Structure 1
Amino acid sequence: MAGLTLEHAEAQLALWLAADSALAGGAQSYRIETAPGTSRQVTRADAAQIQRNIDFWDQKCRQLGRSGGIVVRGVTFAP
């Protein structure tokens, strides 16, 4: 996603966590603003989709929250 900021990812994660909490608290449906002027209604039947969105945005927050730089795994340097 081009231009994605940590603040945006955190805001999206917060929205999906709020949707999950509302449905877990007994609400049958919850409306979430997906973009300015655009909304989506989710229902209890969408619980798996809500969880996928939480996982997605949590991963993005973790990626964007890193200190930057390149992570290299499984490389051994020999003198």
Structure 2
Amino acid sequence: MDGITLDRAKQHLQAWLDAELAVSTGQAYRLGTRQLQRANLPEIRKQINYWRSEIAKLQGSGRRKVTRAIIRDL
């Protein structure tokens, strides 16, 4: 993603982790005639995995470092 910083990605991850916690305490509730329906848990977990992978990319983890050496007998 262009323009996403590591700090911003961490903020997104934290928001989705908070959403997962909120859903675990109640997916929907009603107050009088009003009703609140939260996002479904599979979608939240999908987003958590996405942001974790974005953070890993931004931190550079998971990349293989290649070193080339030429051995010469002089």
Which category of TM-score, normalised to the shorter sequence, fits these structures? 0.5 to 0.7
Paired position in structure 1 for 2:42: 48
Q: In the alignment, residue 43 of structure 1 is paired with which amino acid? A: R
Distance in structure 2 (CA, Å) of the matches to 1:76 and 1:8: 35
* Superposition TM-score, scaled by structure 1 size: 0.62
Distance in structure 2 (CA, Å) of the matches to 1:77 and 1:42: 59
Q: In the alignment, residue 20 of structure 2 is paired with which amino acid? A: D
Superposed CA RMSD:
3.0
Paired position in structure 2 for 1:37: none
Change (3 A) 1:25 1:77: farther
Instruction: Report which of the two structures shows the higher radius of gyration computed on alpha carbons.
Output: 2
* Superposition TM-score, scaled by structure 2 size: 0.65
Residues 53-64 of structure 1: pairs in structure 2 closer than 5 A: 53-64=47-58
Which blocks of at least 5 consecutive residues in structure 2 are unaligned?
Answer: 30-35
Post-superposition shift, 1:43? 2.5
Number of residue pairs the alignment of both structures matches: 64
What percentage of aligned pairs have identical amino acids? Answer: 25
Which blocks of at least 5 consecutive residues in structure 1 are unaligned?
Answer: 30-40
Paired position in structure 1 for 2:23: 23
Distance in structure 2 (CA, Å) of the matches to 1:42 and 1:49: 14
SS of structure 2 residue aligned to 1:4: coil
> Which of 60, 63, 66 is equivalent to 1:66?
60
Higher strand share: 1
